[in-house]
Each structure stands twice: as structure tokens, then as C-alpha cells.
Amino acid sequence: MISKIKIGTRKSKLALWQANYAKKKIETLGIECEIIKIKSEGDVNQITPLYDFGVSGIFTKSLDQALLNNTIDIAVHSYKDVPVNLAANLSIHCVFKRASSKDIVVLKSKNIDFKKNLTIATSSIRRKTQWLNKYPHHKIVSLRGNVESRIKKLEKNDWDGAIFAKAGLDRLSISLENKMILDWMIPSAAQGAVAITSRSNEKELNNLLRSISCNSTFHCVSQEREFLKLMNGGCSVPISAFAKIENNKLYFKASVSSLDSKNIATVEDTFDSSDLEASKKIFRKILKNGGEKILRELKKENEKN
């Protein structure tokens, strides 16, 4: 019988919030937990834009290694940071109820005119391409770091605004005056969800993790991530996917953008809530609606680099 679980996490305040959330959930089962902080490669390099790394797992690799060498028993992640292809012998059996999946823009002043030539900060290629497709006259600059450091960089620089995930600000109870929810922006697959990775052969532990997982959230984000996998996407590819269950129906919206932001293929559809093929159907639909051409262009660009 399991008496203690070592929880691995990154060192940022948001990562620690997520780890402590998982700790509280597990402790309701009468199991002692210890949080172990591990520095990730993505935390060390705060300058390079995420999409320039060219590899997946920039925030998860160190935690994967700690799991595989038994330094920790589980690792807690922002699910959107987890590669669609997990490291060998690792699996996910727990996803907590999703918080907001929305992106928001935090602005320097209240009355900003979006018709002017604004400068907006983000390190996300997904956010960059969607923003420039809507506002082609704007300039995007790279912004890396944890939530608090990104807010400080916004304050210090002469940028007009910066884009954040709403869930991150909410979890840290950060209230900023001039913010706007970007209802038109399609989020990253699994944005707003927290997931736990563990070793695949730990049957007792994995059964325990399944008992505290949110089934509806797990189903939705699994469909989003399967779509991402079919699109062969990662942090360096501007792909968006969002699914939610309402009235026993699964609503699914997805998009893929060209790197120059000029072309975006967007599709949406509604399925039965238990449909395990929704991701494949959305994938086929987006290919027919301009996505295949964009993916070919993206592949050519990747081959050049």
C-alpha cells in the first residue's frame, strides 16, 4: 500500500501552485506527499522564443528524467506543455478539472486604439500568428519567463500589451487593471488543464491517480491532443484546439496558421460527448478547409531550418 508520494514540479510560483493543488487532492486519500522542485531547461533559458527551440518537452524533460530514475513518483504539469508523444515508460492517468482555457491581453493603458501600430509581447507562435492575422499592422516581440517576470517586463518596456493565459493569472490571484479576454483566439490544446505523469508500470499508483481525475476534462483534452498529434504539431507549430462538453455534446474548434500569419484555416463541429473519433473528424475537416496547404508550407519551412 502506498504511504507517501514524491511530487516533482518546476520551481515557478505557478508550477508550485499546481503541485500543491495535486498534493491536496492526493492527501484527501490519506496519503502523505512531499514536493520536490526541479529546474527545467525552459526555465534556464529565458531569452529564446519557445518556437525557436525546435524541440518538444522543453518544460518537461527534466521532470521526465527524475521520474525515470525514481527521484520522484509523479510530476505535475501544465498539460499544454507536455509533448503529445510521452517519454517511453511514462503515462498520464490524471487530469484535474480544467480552469479557463482563455487567452487574455494585458494592456498598458485603458484606452488603447487597436487601429494604431501597437507592439504586443508573446513567445507563443500560436498567439503571434492569430494576433497578426487579426491585426497585421501590429508588431510582436518575444516575451519569456514566469508569469510575474513577464508582467515586470511588460511594465519596464515600451510595449503596448502582452498576452497571457487567463488560468495562470487566476491561479496566482493576480488582478491586473487593463486586461481583455480574447474570445476570438483559439487556445492551445489542453490549455487551462493540469496533468500528472507517472511511470506506466506503477499500477497501484496509477489507479489512485485515476480516482481523482476529472473524466470530462480528460476526454476533452485527450481529443485536443490527439488532433495536435495528427497535425504533427508542437510548440513550434501554430496549431490551436479546444473541446468542451455541453448538454451531452462535444463542441470542438481548431485552427492552423501559416507562419506569416496571412492564412488561417479554422473549423468547428459538434459530436456526441463520448465520440472517441472527434479529433480524427476535425483533422479531416481542417485538411479539406485549407489546412493541408498550410501544413505543406509549414513542413517546407521546417525542412529549410
pLDDT band of 302, cuts 50, 70, 90: confident
The pLDDT value recorded for residue 110 is 87
pLDDT in tens, 159-212: 999 999 999 999 999 999 899 999 999 999 999 999 999 999 999 999 999 999
Question: At CA 58, angle to CA 265 and CA 212, rounded to 5?
Answer: 85
Supply the mean pLDDT for the chain: 92
Mean pLDDT for 115-132 is 96
CB-CB contact of 117 with 124 (8 Å): no
Task: Please check the confidence at residue 51 and state whether its pLDDT lies above 60.
Answer: no
Percent of the chain with pLDDT over 70: 92
Task: Please check the confidence at residue 239 and state whether its pLDDT lies above 90.
Answer: yes
The pLDDT value recorded for residue 305 is 62
What are the structural domains, with CATH classification, of the chain?
4-97+193-213 (3.40.190.10), 103-181 (3.40.190.10), 229-304 (3.30.160.40)
The torsion defined by the Cα of 119, 160, 182 and 241, in degrees rounded to 10, comes to: 40
Find, among 131, 117, 121, the residue nearest to 157 by Cα: 121
Percent of the chain with pLDDT over 90: 85
Sheet hosting strand 264-272, strand order edge to edge: 239-246, 249-257, 264-272
Q: In terms of DSSP H, where are the helices of 172-262?
A: 203-211, 215-230
CB-CB contact of 125 with 50 (8 Å): yes
Cell numbers describing residue 104? 487574455
Task: Please check the confidence at residue 6 and state whether its pLDDT lies above 90.
Answer: yes
pLDDT band of 52, cuts 50, 70, 90: very low
The pLDDT value recorded for residue 92 is 98
Residue with cell 476534462: 217
Of residues 43, 81, 103, 160, which has the active-site annotation?
81
pLDDT in tens, 77-100: 999 999 999 999 999 999 999 999
pLDDT band of 53, cuts 50, 70, 90: very low
Euclidean distance between CA atoms 243 and 246, whole angstroms:
10
Task: Please check the confidence at residue 242 and state whether its pLDDT lies above 60.
Answer: yes
Mean pLDDT for 66-81 is 96
Whether 260 is catalytic is no
More confident residue, 274 or 236: 274
Residue with cell 487567452: 103
pLDDT in tens, 18-50: 999 999 999 999 999 999 999 865 444 444 444
DSSP string, 68-121: HTTS-SEEEEEGGGS-SSPPTTEEEEEEPPP----EEEEESSSS--TTS--EEE
The pLDDT value recorded for residue 57 is 60
